[in-house]
Chains A and B, each alone.
Chain A
Amino acid sequence: MSTNKASRIGEEIWKTRVDKVNAELVTLTYGTIVAQLCQDYNSDYQEVNKQLDKMGYNIGMRLIEDFLAKSGVGRCANFRETADMIAKVGFKIFLNVAPTVTNWTSDNNQFSLIFDDNPLADFVELPDDGRAQDELWFSNILCGVLRGSLEMVQVQIEAHFVSDVLRGDDTTEMRVSLVRYIEDEMPPEEE
């Protein structure tokens, strides 16, 4: 499946099949979650990153069902197709953005998602405490979402942010790596 086709699917689902809410309700709700974590963990940002990733993982394990039910797409033929599905269908129908897929490694096992827009971070400025801009990945929940949702369809990945405009970087970039395909309930067939 081509990138264009994935984009068309994403657009179509967003337009016709997605129940909407005010974006600010989502943005502010996410903000209050991060703020609460910073408070509960006494601004230990490493721990906050970890908690956000964990929350995202929990969300991903559930969100994948909505993705599959709404999109009706089947299993991806390869990791490149998976990347397009994530960027052009997944992000589109849940966050109304379609990050750019780029920076592939030659073995096609790693790519980057570049976000021009990140609705989770609208209105956000990190605390000016000399540490948050170096330690906190504000949108880290998204890494967990990808990890959780792909694991449910037997694709194990690793994801982390490498830059964020909230930290003063020029782009917001997430790096996604294929770890392995998880063998399903079946033992592998004898060759």
Chain B
Amino acid sequence: MSILNLPLEFTGAPHNCGRHSPQNTFSSSHAQLSIMTVFSLIIINKAGGLIYQREFQPGLRKLSTNDYLVLAGTFHGVHAITRTITPRLPLQNTASPVVASPGTNAPTTSGYSYPNPGVPASGLEYLETEKFRLTCFQTLTGTKFLLFTDPMTGSVETVMNKIYELYADYVMKNPFYQLEMPVRCEAFDRHLAAWLRGRT
């Protein structure tokens, strides 16, 4: 299947240096500016449940609802494991008097900066194939946003930040949305689609 909306067809991801020709280096840098192909978005709640799935542009094959649920759950598990193997924050040498004070109910895990919330900085952030890149953004509250984009697309950070803001507005400020439950907010769909349309 060919990637739609692309001026040229590439066989490799842009940062796959071994296969870079001057030609596609040139084109891919242009692609970053002119093309932001966002295929779809998935939101996974803290427990690993799929709470949102939506396609924006064609280019990937559709999965069944069940497959999306499996994808969400599996990714959640893999992400957790990648966090486990990520080293924790090293101890900062800022003078924090409480570290030395015994008898408080503060966590006293030695060897880490105080206070150590016991959370590694991050887990799995990217997954890439020839046809798409999956970017995961986990908020500090534990919700995950999974964005499927064209692998030519450079940083998806701007898109991710905007999605998070729209989520904070049109999902979290909606009195009819129950936390951790599937997201059915018409205004969120509408603003998300409109914003992504405006970008492409």
Contact = CB atoms under 8 A, between A and B. Distances in A.
Decide if A and B touch, CB cutoff 8 A.
yes
A185 B142 contact: yes
B70 interface: no
B105 A179 contact: yes
A66 B167 CA distance: 8
Identify the interface centre among B111, B141, B169: most chain A CB within 10 Å of its CB: B141
A154 B117 contact: yes
Interface string A46-85: 0000000000000001111110111010110111000000
A153 B118 CA distance: 11
Given A66-B172, A152-B141, A183 B118 contact: yes
B144 to A, nearest CB: 12
A103 interface: no
Contacts of A65: 139, 141, 143, 164, 167-168, 172
Contacts of A186: 80, 83-84, 118-120
Nearest to B114: A78
Interface in B94-128: 94, 96-98, 101, 104-107, 109-111, 113-120
Interface string B133-161: 00000011111000000000000000001
Given A107-B104, A109-B98, A69 B165 contact: yes
A178 B106 contact: yes
Contact of A78 (B115, B118, B168): B115
B17 interface: no
Contacts of A63: 172
Given A72-B161, A109-B98, A109-B104, A184 B142 contact: yes
Contacts of B120: 186
Given A75-B117, A154-B119, A188 B94 contact: no
B89 to A, nearest CB: 8
Contacts of A181: 106-107, 115-118
Contacts of B98: 107-109
Interface residues of B, number: 40
Majority secondary structure, B binding face: loop
A166 B111 CA distance: 47
Given A65-B167, A66-B172, A184 B119 contact: yes
Interface residues of A, number: 35
A191 interface: yes
Contacts of B88: 189
B173 A75 contact: no
A8 interface: no
Contacts of B107: 180-181
A165 interface: no
Contacts of A179: 105
Contacts of B114: 78
Nearest to B96: A78
A69 to B, nearest CB: 4
B92 interface: yes
Interface of A: 61-66, 68-70, 72, 74-75, 77-79, 106-109, 152-155, 178-186, 188-189, 191
> 3 closest pairs, A vs B, by CB?
A66-B168, A62-B172, A65-B168
